[in-house]
Structure formats: structure tokens, C-alpha cells
A and B are shown apart, each in its own frame.
Chain A
Amino acid sequence: MRFLFKTTYDQDIRLFQHPGQVWSYLALLAVMIVAPMVLSSYVMSQFTFVLIYALVGVSLMILVGYTGQASLGHAAFLAIGAYTAGYLQSKGVPFSIYFPLAGLLTGLVGVLVGFPALRLHGIYLLIATISFSFIVEEILARWEHVTNGNEGMRVKSLELFGHEINRGSDYFYYLCLAVLVAAIVLTLNLMRSPTGRAFIAVRDSETAARSMGVDIAATKVRAFGLSAALTGFAGVLYAHKLSFISPEMFTLALSIEFIMVIIIGGALGLHGAILGAMFIVMVDPFLTWLKDDVPGFVSSIASLLGAGAARVKSIEDTTAGLASTAGLKGLIYGIIIMLFILFEPYGLYGRWLKIKLFFQMFPLYKKATFKRQKVYVKTERNR
């Protein structure tokens, strides 16, 4: 076990607590940089999606994880970023201008959405953000001379410093990686500054936060603005990655996927956003595998067990039918959410922390370390 002897205040202020962390994150970064040279383009494409989802995950961590404000409207923020990019690009604006502009615009919209949040809590705020995302979806479908309506919009591959960066190329992956790393560093900086602590204060006790001099309204609006801006950046990358955007891509289902990123990853820290993003992106390949390979696998087991040819065929058809049932994705999502909330409330990152602690404390690890305490007294009436 590692004992940290603190001799300066800076040890608590620094991004990395000890040299081991510096080395392990450098190693991770090196692996991420070398990955395109080793892995197939299909896997790299999935990696790029992980990076984009992780960016949204980081933005949700700021709003939901740290500030405690629920949101099911992040698909709409993503759409605003994506459409800003698509529209401005078609007007000949270069990437280096429309990328920050898309983030800025989405951030402003986020601030506007933040204002109703000043008066709403929990489930009511959730409903407000859902209605916001419906409004955006509707606007995208109706505002045809900008968004091209339900026909959708083609997004050309992006050009940076005179070079075309194809959506499947390694450079696009590096761009996403750079944006994600920048977003993480900015978020970590914020969380070690007064504003970041104010976010946590608002999450845990608004009453106390107010009495300590935290301006609740300004803090919530900032959290909404920042979170929306990061999602806007993700939207630009998303649009370029897919090369085609249409209103029905940015539905409530996508917002739910985003929320799942942090439920599955665990709302303890930014690690959770990245682990959750990996998990969510892997669901689709898993479904494809379920459709393509499982029926054949099941039927070959059946024939091994001595079933007749007609019987094997019917078993294969039934499994194939089951595996391609409409709504299977929703069912799987539902089951995953339930299992995580019941058995792993701190998500994948929480599990990782538990495993780490188990080895650090071996053989003295106690299960109760991570047990959630029940809190009975809270002054809700001062809200």
C-alpha cells in the first residue's frame, strides 16, 4: 500500500497526486496514440465513437455528476452542435471557426435552458429538459432552409489547415482524442477551483451552499452552459463522424444512452464517463454478434446434442427471431440500468476502485467500506 506524506499544499492542488499516476496516464496516452497503427479500421472507428461518447459523458458528469442537475436533453445539445457545424460548413466557414462557434452557441442555449432549472428540482427538471429536446427536434424538422428538414443534411469531411481529414482516417481519431483530453484537463482544473467546489456544494446542500456565499443561480447556469458547450463540441465531431445528420437521430433514446454512460460508468469521477462510454459503444457490436453468430452457434450445439436436421433448423430460426426482435436494444438497456442501480450503484469505476482497494488492503479489505450511508435528516424546507 502506498502512503502519501504530504509536505506542501501543492500536493493537494496538483492534477496528479503521485509520480505513479503520471506514468500510468502517460502509458495510457501512448497506447491510445499507437492504437491506430496496430488495430483494424473497424475497431478504430468504434474507438472514435467511444471518444465522442466520452466527451458527452464528461459534460454530463459536470452537470449531473457534480452539480446534481438531471438532464435528458443532451441529445438536443448534441444536435445543436452538429447542425451548427453542418450549416456553417456548407456556407464555406472553415473548421477552425465553426468548431469553437458551435461550442459557444450550444453553451448559450445551455445557459438559456439553465434558467428554468433554477426553480425546478429532480423529476420536474428532467421533464423540462425532455421537453426542451422535443422542441429542438421539432425545430430541426421544420426549419427546412437551414436544416434541410427530415431529409437530413450531408456533412462533408472536415478540413483543418488545408488538409482534408476523412472521417475514417487516423487523424480524425487523433482530433477526437485531443478534444477529449483537453476537455478532461479543463474539467479537472475547474473541479479544483472555487467554481467546481461550488458545483459540489449545490449538489449536496443548496441551503448550506447559499449560506457559504455560493450564488446558486449563477452556479447552476454555469454548469448548464459548460456542459452544453462540451456537448456542442462533441456534436461537431459526431456530425463529421457520421457524415449525415437528420432530426430523428437526436431523439430521447440518444439522451437516455448518454445518461447511461454515467450510470454505468459511475458518477464518482471522470473515469466513469470514459468507462461508461466504452460500455455503451460496445452494446451495438454485441447486438450484431447476437444476430449473426448466436443462432448458428446454438444450432450447432443442438446438432451436437443429437437433434434432427428439421429440429436444428427450427431452433436456429427461433433464436434468430429472438435475436432480431424489435426493441431488443431497449430491453437490454433497461436490464443493464436496473442491474447497475441495484448491484453496482457506483458503476464500473466504483468496481475498479473496489478491486484496487482490495489489493491495496489485502487481506484486510472490508466490504462495508463502500456501503452507502443512509441520511435521514436534511433541511429540504429551506429550498
Chain B
Amino acid sequence: MTSLFKVENLSLRFGGLKAVDDVSFEVQKGEVFTIIGPNGAGKTSIFNLISRLYEPTSGKLFYEGNDITHVPAHKIAKLGIARTFQNIELFENASLLSNLLVGRHCFSKTQLWQELLFLPNVKYAERAHRHKVEEVIEFLDLQAYRDKLIAGLPYGVRKVTEVARALCSEPKLILLDEPSSGLNVEETDDMSFWIRDIKNDLGITVLMVEHDMSLVRRVSDRVLALNYGKVLALGTHEEVQRHPDVVAAYLGA
């Protein structure tokens, strides 16, 4: 196993509040790495730092050995890091298909003037994008909703659509921010199968934030527990769940 992604002494301060405090971890290629922790532990902040929406106060991010601490946010997708959002951030007033096609945006090479005239190269590129999108639709069983507006879709489908949109950018590392929040038991089951398929069939490394411990147990190879921005424990889910600091953080000492 080789390291795909590395976080080194990452810190993020909002004024006096240390949202992320000197966090270091390494994600191996091909594993499912889960970050758990109580509310406000800094899990989503770490995600926002990785996808470069936040500027870290200190620390470094390495991806495939390259320093990506100062890469602008819109270039992250092209590198092969895709993400989903905790509070669904889909393009509400567009069809599911165009949402997924936006996921292919990092591959578009056509110029504005070519697009205005819709030259053959734009058309060929569109067909190729569409073909890739269809593969993802097939993978996640979204065929029935292709032409539907997102605004009219049920919550569970939207959650899957977020994953689909992330997969459309053919990532090597996918960041899933609470993939099961708001889903019922059955939908959570489906999600756990898909996460395993993403790892095993597509060979994509998964970094996820999750509260549902049963889902964490089923899919994760390693778990990192955070509280108040600090690392409490790192290891397999049994190790982490039994760790006295983790128990204290969740149940109170």
C-alpha cells in the first residue's frame, strides 16, 4: 500500500477558535478512511481545507507526493479529488443529467467561440462526456431520474446524485461528507454497498466523514477520531471505538 494523500500538521483558526488543531494523517491508496467525531469536532473543516475552500492557518497537504496546499479550489477536481457536501449542494434548477455533466467540467477543453458555434469538436466532446455520465448513472441506478429537475427529486436520490456527480470527474480520491445523513436504513444499506463498490470495482480511495457507526463499521478500513480539532485516536474501528479518549468524548468522562 502506498500513500495517496497526506495531511501534515494542519491547523485552521477562526479568530481565537481552533477548528482544526495540528492534525496529521495519511490516506493509503485503495482504502476507505473515515473521520468521526462529535459535532463541531472539525471534520467538515478538514474537508473544506482539502478541497481548498478554506485556507489553512498552517500545515501542508500532499497529494500523490505533490504539495497542493496552495492550489486554487477549481483546480482540485482536475487533480482527481472529488467531493460531496453534507448539506446537499446540487444545482437545484437543472436536470440531473446536466448536474452530472457539470461533474465532467474539469475535462472540457473547448473554447468559448467553438461552443458558441457548436463546432463538431464540441459535439464530439459532448458525446464522450455523456457516455461517461451514462456509466455513472448505470453504476448508481439513477436511470429513472435522468431528465428530472433536482428541485423535484426526493432527498435520498439527491444524496446519491451528489456521489454520482463526484464520480463523473473520474477521481482517484473521493471525499464523502456524511453520505448517510438523512437516509433511512434501507438507503444507508445501499450507500454502504456503493461505497464498497467505489473502492473495490472502481478502485477509488474514499475519505469520508460519517456519524452512523454501523455504516462506519461496515465500510471503513481505518478510522480517525477527532474532538475539538485534535486527533484522539487512529486505527481500525474496534480500536478507535474502545479507545478511552473516544469514549470520553462521546459519553463524557
- A interface, CB within 8 angstroms of B: 9-10, 12-13, 186, 189-190, 192-198, 200-201, 203-205, 207-216, 222, 373, 375, 377-379, 382
Of A192, A194, A208, the contact of B91 (CB 8 Å cutoff): A208
In the assembled complex, the Cα of A382 lies from the Cα of B77 at a distance in Å of 17
20 contacting pairs across A/B (C-beta < 8 A):
A9-B127, A13-B127, A186-B116, A186-B117, A190-B112, A194-B115, A195-B108, A195-B115, A197-B94, A200-B102, A201-B102, A201-B105, A204-B91, A208-B89, A208-B90, A209-B91, A211-B77, A212-B103, A215-B74, A379-B86
Contacting pair B126 A193 (CB below 8 A)? yes
In the assembled complex, the Cα of A204 lies from the Cα of B151 at a distance in Å of 11
How many contacts A-B (CB < 8 Å)? 124
Interface residues of B in 48-91 (CB under 8 A from A): 48, 51, 53-54, 73-78, 82-83, 85-91
B165 at the interface (CB under 8 A from A): yes
B98 at the interface (CB under 8 A from A): yes
Interface size on B, residues (CB 8 A): 49
Of A210, A375, A382, the contact of B92 (CB 8 Å cutoff): A375
Contacting pair B94 A190 (CB below 8 A)? no
B118 to chain A, nearest CB (A): 4
Contacts of A196 in B (CB 8 A): 115
Contacting pair A207 B53 (CB below 8 A)? yes
B93 to chain A, nearest CB (A): 6
Contacting pair A200 B94 (CB below 8 A)? yes
Nearest CB in chain B to that of A376: its residue: B87
Contacts of B123 in A (CB 8 A): 13
B95 to chain A, nearest CB (A): 9
Interface residues of B in 83-135 (CB under 8 A from A): 83, 85-94, 97-98, 101-106, 108, 110, 112, 115-118, 122-123, 125-127, 130-131, 134
Of B75, B87, B103, B115, the contact of A378 (CB 8 Å cutoff): B87
B152 at the interface (CB under 8 A from A): yes
In the assembled complex, the Cα of A144 lies from the Cα of B97 at a distance in Å of 53
Nearest CB in chain B to that of A225: its residue: B112
Contacting pair B87 A377 (CB below 8 A)? yes
In the assembled complex, the Cα of A377 lies from the Cα of B134 at a distance in Å of 29
B169 at the interface (CB under 8 A from A): yes
Contacts of B134 in A (CB 8 A): 9
A262 to chain B, nearest CB (A): 15
In the assembled complex, the Cα of A200 lies from the Cα of B150 at a distance in Å of 13
With A204-B92, A207-B89, A216-B74 known as contacts, the answer to whether A197 contacts B151 (CB < 8 A) is: no
Contacting pair B90 A213 (CB below 8 A)? no
A8 to chain B, nearest CB (A): 9
Contacts of A13 in B (CB 8 A): 123, 126-127, 130
In the assembled complex, the Cα of A222 lies from the Cα of B116 at a distance in Å of 12
Nearest CB in chain A to that of B93: its residue: A204
Contacts of A209 in B (CB 8 A): 91, 102
A-B pairs with lowest CB-CB distance, top 3: A213-B106, A213-B77, A193-B115
Contacting pair B130 A12 (CB below 8 A)? yes
B126 to chain A, nearest CB (A): 5
Contacting pair A194 B110 (CB below 8 A)? yes
Contacts of A211 in B (CB 8 A): 51, 53, 73, 76-77, 82-83
